Structure 1
Amino acid sequence: MTGSPFFLLDGAVQLPDAVDMGVPSHYGSPNIEQRHLLAGSAIVDLSNRGVLSVSGPDRLTWLNSITSAELRFLQPGESSETLFLDPQGHIEHAAGLLDDGETTWLFVDPVSVEPLDAWLNRMKFMLRVEIADRTPEFARIGFLAETVPAGLPVASASNIPLVWSDPWRSVVAGGHQYADGEHPGASWNWQEALVPRDQLAAVSTTHQAAGSLAAEALRVAAWRPRFATEVDEKTIPHELDWLRSAVHLSKGCYRGQETVAKVHNLGHPPRRLVMLHLDGSDSVLPASGAPVRAERAGEPVEVGRITTAVIHHELGPIALAVIKRSIAADATLTVDEDGQLIAASQQVIVPADAGAVADVPRLPRLGAVRRP
């Protein structure tokens, strides 16, 4: 793949620490670009992100058996999302899925393309499935709209337009939401279209563009987790409220399913996702991985980390962070950005009492006397 033609547009900038390397971070006005995205008048170049395909008659039952979502009944043109877990329930990869009746298309972050491709090929055994990396053929274009932008040359297969609709807007069948009250994800009508990569240059000149920073800011405001940013080697789905869109709690066995069930029914996730409203008076935005601290016995103690920090066009500086479950919702938090402390107020996404939903009766202790 060569460099994105979107870099030829006026004002195109890629930040050196951008999570999305290889595509423009912005075109000079990230806040205005957010508004254009919300209005449905702009698209985002996501051509750096990966596309895998799984074809063959066993594809859906096979994917269903090795991932967290219920995929056996996925219909042509229907979108879904699933997680690949290790045996202990930690997230190894995440993928958006679209099936066209003959092939299932996987929308993955760049870091997942090679390892997931290799792992899937190792796991197919004698099943009738074929895995391929289609990233050199197709580029992903993102937009916030109910319909595909006019004139976008969307690829199709088996007469199905290859457009993935993010299921984050609502709790999927078999899923569960830990967040209380009205959820900002309800208005997150994010879609991604596959376009032939050889038509990407034409797309860049015929459609208004917004940078990846604009998309990230709106994603954070929707509390939407992303594999490349919110996940580390210890992450389980409950911590990010990812049971909402990518987990079916009663579909049967898959790798990591025992942990998913135990934590949801009997335990609590050890960490929880929050959105932080950051003090912007010093115009400092923390980097991914910046420590989040809370006061304990008069001393600041590290209790979590920033996963994504952005400037939102209405909310100002905000961030997603993963912190310890035990931290009180009204705790005073600060973010340590290279020695500079940034005050932060916490908006709860995953509450401290998330999990333990099973109504399990308490059994009396052995030898205890039952009183009348």
Structure 2
Amino acid sequence: MAIDTFFAFLGVYSDVDDALADYEAVKDLHVEAGLLDRSGRPRITVTGGEAAEFLQGQVTNDVEALEPGAGCYALLLDRKGRIRADMRVLRLAADAFLIDTEPELGEDVLGHLGTYNIGRDAAVTADPEPRSLLSLLGPMAAKLLGGAISGPEHAHRELLVAGVGCRAAATAAGADLLVPAAGADAVRDRLLAEGAQPVAEDAAEITRVEAGRPRVGLEIGPRTMPAEAGLEERAVSFTKGCYIGQEPVARLHYKGRPNRHLRRLRASAPVAAGDPVTADERELGAVGTAVVSPAGGPLALAILRREAEPGDEVAIGADATATVEAIDA
């Protein structure tokens, strides 16, 4: 990374040590591998002869088409097509799925699935196995796992790390390891010994904003539809059967145009979550996540009214301006 870019990054920090720590952490995620403990993500199992058919009618993606060892990203919607939760769905076997979601969404997802499965051969339970979730983030993640994880995002398989049986799932940023809780320390120690660097959630958030991936509870609010969050390609199947919220999502996709779009904002100065985004004194939306990137300086993600087109200049809060950027699906 160029020295002038780094010192521009340093200039938004009041403490040099804090700036250096974040610089090193984000560098690890760009060129090496960082290790982040995400064990707080709730996990839910859905098992039984009708598990696939049941989930197919609840979430937006085509889980019934998944083979064991494959997975997908999916959404749980309300009947108006607005996002309630997002999740990763891994198919473990013909009759078994493992779901994980954001910490604050676990009870809602578990409660919903546990209500709608009545009369179905589809048992919904909080993951009965005590497991830790360790995320390897960065281009060296696959090498640290001996090349054992490859393929599309969410592909998964069992493997041994430090003699501990784990399930490794490919992610856009590297790989996630589901590890029996009793073996988590041994796995963590092995990965650190082989070159992974411990990183904090703040560093991972910088790379998420750089990549333009929205998060429920931040960019995605209770009135957000998949198209507005740029999630149709990743999370929605338009060829599967019915699911809750399908009609308004399909109607918007085929006959309408979203009123809002997910945008990245390249700001003139650091901004904060919740800051209003305006143009010509008209409010277009609010910042969902704000970070300072070593590579890109102050950045933010926001879902904005469609008047905010790529290349436009907008105001954020009282003191900052920003250039609006499109985000690839």
CA 1:143–1:329: 2 relative to 1, 3 Å = same
Residues 240, 350 of structure 1: 8 Å contact kept = no
Question: Distance between the aligned counterparts of 1:69 and 1:328, measured in 2?
Answer: 29
Cα deviation, residue 204, structure 1:
4.4
Larger proportion of helix = 2
Is the CA contact 2:276–2:285 (under 8 Å) kept in the aligned structure 1?
yes
Equivalence map 1:223-234=2 (5 Å) = 223-234=212-223
The size of the alignment, in residue pairs, is 291
Partner of 2:77: 85
The one-letter amino acid paired with 1:348 is A
What are the Cα deviations for residues 277-325 of structure 1, in whole angstroms up to 9, with x where unaligned? 0113xxx331x22211111xxxx22210111111222111111111111
Q: For 1:30 and 1:110, how far apart are their aligned partners in 2?
A: 24
In structure 1, the partner of 2:204 is: 215
Change (3 A) 1:42 1:330: closer
Cα contact 1:294–1:331 (8 A) shared by 2: no
Whether the 8 Å contact between 1:27 and 1:211 is mirrored in structure 2 is no
Residue equivalent to 1:305:
286
Match of 1:36 among 25, 28, 33: 28
TM-score, normalised with respect to structure 1: 0.72
Q: Contact 1:155/1:195 (CA < 8 Å) preserved in 2? A: no
| SS of 1:147 mapped into structure 2 | helix
The answer to whether the 8 A contact 1:273-1:350 is kept is no
> Which of 38, 53, 58 is residue 66 of structure 1 equivalent to?
58
Give 1:246-325 correspondences, 5 Å limit: 246-280=235-269, 284-286=270-272, 288-295=273-280, 300-325=281-306
Distance 1:27 1:116, change over 3 A: farther
Q: Percent identity?
A: 25
- Report the AA paired with residue 296 of structure 2: L
TM-score (norm 2): 0.81
User: What 5-or-longer segments of structure 2 have no aligned partner?
Assistant: 1-17, 149-155, 160-164
- Which residue in the other structure is 1:198 paired with? 182
Counterpart for residue 344 of structure 1: 322
Q: Determine the C-alpha separation between the residues in 2 that align with 1:214 and 1:200.
A: 22
Query: Aligned partners of 1:195, 1:40: CA distance in 2, in Å?
Result: 22
State the distance in 2 between where 1:120 and 1:261 align.
23
Cα distance in 2 for partners of 1:79, 1:191 equals 13
Q: Which has the greater radius of gyration?
A: 1
State the Cα RMSD in Å: 2.7
Sort the Cα spacing of 1:120 and 1:148 in 2 relative to 1 into closer, same or farther, 3 A. farther
Cα distance, 1:203 vs. partner?
4.2
Q: Give the Cα–Cα distance (whole angstroms) in 2 for the partners of residues 268 and 348 of structure 1.
A: 16
- For 1:237 and 1:41, locate their aligned partners in 2 and report how far apart those are by CA, in whole Å: 31
Instruction: Give the drift of 1:35.
Output: 1.8
Q: Distance in 2 between matches of 1:201 and 1:135?
A: 20
